Chains A and B, each alone.
Chain A
Amino acid sequence: MRPFRFERATDAQQAVALLGDAPDARYLGGGTNLVDLMRLGVETPGTLIDVTRLVGYDRIDEGDDGGLRIGAAVRNSDLAADPRVRERYPVLAEAVLHGASGQLRNLATVGGNLLQRTRCAYFTDVTKPCNKRALGTGCPAREGRHHNHAIFGHSEHCVATHPSDMAVALAALGATVHALGPAGARTIPIPGFYRLPEDAPHRDTLLEPGELITAVELGPPPGRQTRQRYRKVRERRSFAFALASVAAVLDLESSGTVSDVRIALGGVAHMPWRATRAEVALRGAPVTPERATEAAQAELEYAQPLRDNSYKVELAHNLIAATLMELAA
């Protein structure tokens, strides 16, 4: 690993100022992704600024409306174990527990989880070209190994997926990211926080250089009639990234009619993919097997699989339909 300087910030303003003084610096959360990438030579920061001990950022605070403000330094294990999260936003607890392993969740932070980098094998191999790692060098995955890459929203410059399970649930819940940068504080809703690769795949999100994630906010909890579920398909039963996953939040009237529904897919795009076409197809009538299939079809019709990943189209289709049927049952 290349040598670097180590700083520890105790408040957010100080962290932002420290980074402003050192442009090749990076914030350090649990390090479960960044330290790995530094060992591989993919990341070579001159300075690390530890933001896990920012005072007050390891808490989950409750708003007057019952919503939650989750500090960026909250560990993934603590998030998944929080009784308020488990009761009001179970899809989030489920998604977090479907990611990595206990040891990693004990270290990983909310901010770091949101900003973890893709698992594309070319990205992590510095001997290979990769636009995300070195813009302008090309994208070997397009014609090479892309079994686990995107079927939605990819570009000729990058076909990678975002690996976070947590972010998929946050996209379905309509969470908001709070950030602090040299220009001040701002809020950005997920999934708009993430971006499609287009011609700038080196940028995963809308964050500007130097911006620190301070918190993630969840709006008022969905009503009693709301049902939530996270399902993930992987190559083995545990400890693997998603081939595809779905987070669904379904509001039903007492008659069974869908009053609202939010569906986000993981493992299929450069960002958590909101299946808005499926959502539109579902609103206003009860969920039946036919309508669940039609909704899935409405979304997957627009998929653009690569040579070797068309299996994901069927997989995502079945995941959406099965999850809807399970929630409506």
Chain B
Amino acid sequence: MSKTVPVTLNVNGVEHHLEVEPRLLLVHALRDNLGLTGTHVGCDTSNCGACTIHMDGRAVKSCTVLAVQADGVALTTIEGLASENELHPLQEAFWNDHGLQCGYCTPGMIMAAAGLLAENPNPTEDEVRHGLEGNLCRCTGYHNIVKAVLDAAKAKGAAVGAPASGQPGVTA
């Protein structure tokens, strides 16, 4: 057995002090140690994106990150996205646009989309498709997911009065 080490996981604004084995993956720390089961595991090989969360505001796949790598870093999971009584615009849009069927990919999809919109608040359809390339969905054929992200961008833009033309996308 290897020794455990202390880590501080700062998840959705709450600090958790844990003793973990270095080999514990962040996704398991979130799900098993902290009971935050909204983050899913779909593939375990960094392919499907179901485990997407934010580290320091940026989308990452938590199935290939060790919990110790996240020590002291601000983490956001799907549970931390909505404010008190209100769904996040992306959650609202996925609901309205039928952006999900079985829902397995949805938390990761929404977290990846939130990361995308943070960088590029007014993406084109192509930029959304490219930006979500790391997330797989077996059910929807992606059409409604892309629509939901575009609608959420519009809703967000209206809410915060963002300019109609966003920054140029960083897709290549």
Contacts and interface: CB of A to CB of B under 8 A. Distances in A.
A3 to B, nearest CB: 3
B68 A239 contact: no
Given A1-B23, A6-B5, A238-B130, A107 B45 contact: no
A309 B17 CA distance: 52
A101 B65 contact: no
Interface residues on B, range: 35 or more
Given A2-B23, A102-B116, A36 B45 contact: yes
B22 A5 contact: yes
A2 B60 CA distance: 23
Interface string A1-42: 111111000000000000000000000100110011011000
Given A4-B22, A238-B130, A104 B3 contact: no
A162 interface: no
Interface in B62-81: 64-66, 68-69
Contacts of B130: 238
A146 B130 CA distance: 29
Interface stretch (A90-98, A186-194, A198-206): A90-98
B46 A32 contact: yes
A4 B69 contact: no
A81 interface: yes
A101 B170 contact: no
Contact of B23 (A3, A50, A102, A230): A3
A175 interface: no
Nearest to A47: B22
B1 interface: yes
A3 B58 CA distance: 28
B170 A103 contact: no
Contacts of B129: 238
B68 A6 contact: yes
B133 interface: yes
Contacts of A50: 68-69
B2 interface: yes
A-side binding surface: helix, strand, loop or mixed?
Answer: mixed
A48 interface: yes
Nearest to A3: B2
Nearest to B21: A3
Contacts of A5: 2-3, 22
Contact of A48 (B22, B133, B134): B22
Contacts of A249: none
The listed residue with most A CB atoms (<10 A of its CB), out of B44, B116, B129, B170, is B170
A100 interface: yes
A5 B68 CA distance: 11
A137 interface: no
B112 interface: yes
A5 B49 CA distance: 28
B45 to A, nearest CB: 7
B115 interface: yes
A36 B61 CA distance: 12
Q: Which 8 A-B pairs have the closest CB atoms?
A: A101-B134, A3-B2, A6-B22, A97-B172, A238-B133, A239-B133, A106-B58, A1-B23
Given A50-B69, A103-B61, 13 more contacts: A1-B23, A3-B1, A6-B5, A6-B68, A31-B66, A36-B45, A93-B172, A101-B135, A102-B59, A103-B60, A103-B112, A104-B134, A238-B133
Interface of A: 1-6, 28, 31-32, 35-36, 38-39, 48, 50, 52, 77, 80-81, 93-94, 97-98, 100-104, 106-107, 230, 238-239
Interface of B: 1-3, 5, 21-23, 25, 44-46, 49, 52, 55, 58-61, 64-66, 68-69, 112, 115-116, 129-131, 133-135, 170-172
